[in-house]
Amino acid sequence: MRHLFRPIDLGSVTLRNRIVFPPMTTGYEEKGMVTPRSRTFYRNIARGGAGLVIIGDVSVQPSFAPTPFVHDDTFVPGLRQLVDQVHAEGARIAAQLFHQEYDTADIGRVMQAEGREAARQQLHRDMEDYCNRLTADDIAAILDRFRGAARRVRAAGFDLIQVHGDRLVGMFTSGLLNKRTDQYGGPLRNRARFALEVVRAIRETVPDVPIEYKLSIIRTDPPMGKAGPTLEEAQVLAGWLEEAGVVSFHVALADHGSIGDTIPAMGTQPYGCFADLAEGITRVAHVPVTAVGRILDPGFAEGLLESGKADLVGIGRGLIAEPGWPRGVERGNVDDLRMCIMCNHCASSLMSNQPLRCAINATVGEPEPVTIAPAAARRRILVIGGGPAGMEAAHIAARRGHEVMLVERESRLGGQLPLCSAPPYKHEISRLTQFLTNQVARRNVEVRLGAKTPVSDLLDEIRPDAVVVATGASPVRLPVPGSDRANVVTAWDVLAGSAAVGPRAAIVGGGAVGVETALLLAPRGIQITIVEMLEKIAAGESPTILPFIHAQLKRYGVRVLTQHRLASVEADGLSAAAPDGTTLAIQCDTVVMATGTWRNPTFGDEIGARGLECHVVGDCTDGSPGTLAGAIHDGFKAGMSV
């Protein structure tokens, strides 16, 4: 890794390595103010070894968005604390200054006068047209906002300023969104004028602070993104920006399209999916260039630098899941790294107006640093169940010094994880299975597979001080006539590869499991019909992956029948009931049940009768969300509590 860990200069600032935490919204700020949660999050990234930490979406105007603000001096002390803590860990820090593609004050007035729906409509109009309605006075006022923000950023001690070349700035540079006919519209030189004015305004205000530019680029084949130039235009724009004072470029895909394009989920885009854009800028730029986009594997990252496609690599979701990625890679401890699976739980939490959390790292988003410290006394811990919740609890408890035994009734560890990773676009989940399995082994957890011993006998034999119950759930077959026929199988059986499926299959249940099963079978040439009682399929899936799912279903000709309930199973198919009471016969060879689960036994009577400390975690918990995040977070808490 001689390239990845070599220092590099961005203007007058030297980074200790080429690893960048890119700008990402976290939702940790409160009314624009940095919080303890913000400081803990970014300090963990810096402590893990990143060379540069970029604080995303630092707003130069008042906003209702959950991002940091810097439009007023009152925000400087909190930002100063954040900067000092990142510096204390040896990393450099940049503030990404941006202006939204809307006027927050105007949106607020509409909200007050006409209500939430009118404000939402105004917001959507602005996001397509705002740059075209700004007057010369409006533009001058916005440039003043950038000047004031730059002064405050310098006062807070930031090492660099990154100009967000998407959002409003990107709208101006875009041939798709910029419809102006004055000096700010038309040919690229005019469309670039506002971006160059922003850079010059910052440089003139704080000439001692290096400026990086986030160059967000539109793809033309296939069309992706709107708020930015095309690659050919960006190559020209890069030269103008260098002349204006930019010392480095951070290259990404332009926004204002599908969120799944800019934050591609597992299996939807190749690794390094935007590296070609960075390479296109590297070929013409005279300053360092950062590449982003599903960069996770250390060898892949090193290869990008060695080949000259980029000078730095931005690793976002990977450092959220594992802040210690840089130090772990540098020391060769890759097996101990909790590698991101690109499930986009982080993005989905933000899109649900919740602070950023990580599905596979329960410590992300905590207000104070979480330390896995030795327990006060060594205890004997029994973990029942070897799925994600059980394995997480087991290795965390073992790290704290406990003697841990994990029993699993199946012949392998992983629980539902191997089923989840069976669909071709979800194979990255196997990284989590491998990590947890490695950790259980490396922490000397005693594992018993194929354990059929009654729990009461286990308790007699092991005599634990505490028990963690992680028995999971099992699939349900709907109790309708014919559900016990030989042509009926469960989705779990199909995903496990233990059930044969005929050339025509009907999948009952269009939730995540049903859709995943459809996209496992359809590429094999099997004719699929999904029968779902709700109005939509894939409820609960990340919005970042839904467009991909629907595109794949369409690609493979999967028939989707919503608002229909399974009425009965016949020898040659099934009967589905519509809301109006009519029934529809669907001819098929195999009926696949993807109709939910029931909780497995938690052995409360046996454990309670002995007065043992007991922690019930994961899918077997009453009220469990039935998600991977729920299992991992439950397991972590149990491992920290025993």
Q: What is the DSSP letter of 135?
A: -
Q: How would you classify the pairing of strands 488-490 and 613-616?
A: unpaired
**How many C-alpha atoms does 397 have within 13 Å on its Cβ side?**
31
Rounded to the nearest 10°, the torsion over CA 347, 348, 353, 354 is -80
Residues near 202 by beta carbon (within 8 Å), at least 6 away in sequence: 97, 146, 147, 150, 161, 163, 209, 211
CB 620 within 8 A of CB 469: yes
CB 23 within 8 A of CB 54: yes
Our CA angle for 393, 360, 276, nearest 5°, is 155
Q: Is 167 a catalytic residue?
A: yes
Strand partners, 96: 162
Tokens 């859709």 found at = 515
Tokens 């308790």 found at = 459
CB 313 within 8 A of CB 304: yes
DSSP string of 452-497, one letter each residue: ---HHHHHHHH--SEEEE---EEE-----TTTTSTTEEEHHHHHHT
Q: Is 131 exposed, middle or buried (0-12, 13-18, 19+ CB in 10 A)?
A: buried
Structure tokens at 299: 């060898």
DSSP string of 100-129, one letter each residue: -SS-HHHHHHHHHHH-HHHHHHHHHHHHHH
CB 74 within 8 A of CB 68: no
SS3 state of residue 192: coil
Strand partners, 382: 405, 467
Q: Whole-angstrom Cα distance, residue 401 to residue 640?
A: 11
**Catalytic entry in 18, 145, 167, 193:** 167
Structure tokens at 313: 């690599």
List C-alpha distances in Å: 95 to 82, 257, 278, 343. 11, 24, 21, 27
488-490, strands of its sheet edge to edge? 488-490, 590-593, 504-508, 527-531, 559-561
Tokens 């020898």 found at = 571
Q: How many CB atoms lie within 10 A of CB 334?
A: 13
Q: What is the DSSP letter of 166?
A: S
Peptide bond before residue 475 is cis, with ω within 30 degrees of 0? no
Residue of 306, 305, 554 whose CA lies nearest to 314 = 305
Q: Annotated catalytic sites, by residue? A: 167
